Every structure is written in C-alpha cells, then in structure tokens.
Amino acid sequence: MNATIYHNPRCSKSREALAILRQSGAEIEIIDYLKTPPGAEELARLYDRAGITPAEGLRKAEPGARPLLDANDETILAAMAADPILIERPLVETDKGVRIGRPPEAIREIL
C-alpha cells in the first residue's frame, strides 16, 4: 500500500501518525508541508476525498485562523496555501481515502 503524509516533524500527532504508517508496512511519501505546501487545488482535492470542508481542515488554534472562521472555502484554501501552518496536521492519503490524523489512530480507517 502507498501512503502520503503531509507531515510536520515537530508535531507529536504527526510523528505518531507516521509511526502507524511505518508499522503498517506502507510505502510512505513524506511531505514536509511547511517546506513544500500543497496548493489550494490540491487541498480541495484532499478535503473532498476526506469528505470534509476546508473549514474542517483549518487548524483553528493558529492565530491566523481567527479571521477565516466565517470565510468561504476558496478564501480558506488560498490562506492555507499561502500560510501552510493553517493546515490541520497530519493529513494522510492512501488509495482508500484521506484522513486528518487527529487522533492519529484515525488514519487506520484508510490503511
């Protein structure tokens, strides 16, 4: 199985999700999304596959998220692409779907 994780190595939940992927035996593509952020179109695709809205993928704890709480999808996606710290992490994609790894065990649904 192939898996892609949009990963922040400084985040404990992201590290836990990566450990789950490694234990599963998946072939893993690790994308440090703060250094190589996905664009708005890619984020829209990922959230669509996850069955969530961009607002649900927004890391609301970040100060930059506050002005986006009532924004439309396009505005949120553009803000995330411009400032990837706003993307809730970790975001994991496999052939079976996409999940935000909060809690990290949530990614087991797509393994």
Q: Which domain CATH number covers 69? A: 3.40.30.10
Structural domain for 96, as ranges = 2-110
Q: What is the pLDDT of residue 107?
A: 97
Q: What is the pLDDT of residue 22?
A: 97
* Number of structural domains found in the chain: 1
Please say whether the beta carbons of 88 and 103 come within 8 A.
Answer: no
Rounded distance, CA 106 to CA 47, Å?
15
Q: Is 11 a catalytic residue?
A: yes
- Catalytically annotated residue among 4, 10, 11, 111: 11
Residue spans of beta strands (DSSP E) within the chain: 2-7, 27-32, 91-94, 97-100
Q: What is the pLDDT of residue 91?
A: 97
Q: What is the pTM of this model?
A: 0.94
Mean pLDDT by 10 residues, the chain (111 residues): 97 97 97 97 98 97 95 98 97 98 97 96
Q: What is the pLDDT of residue 64?
A: 95
Please say whether the beta carbons of 3 and 29 come within 8 A.
Answer: yes
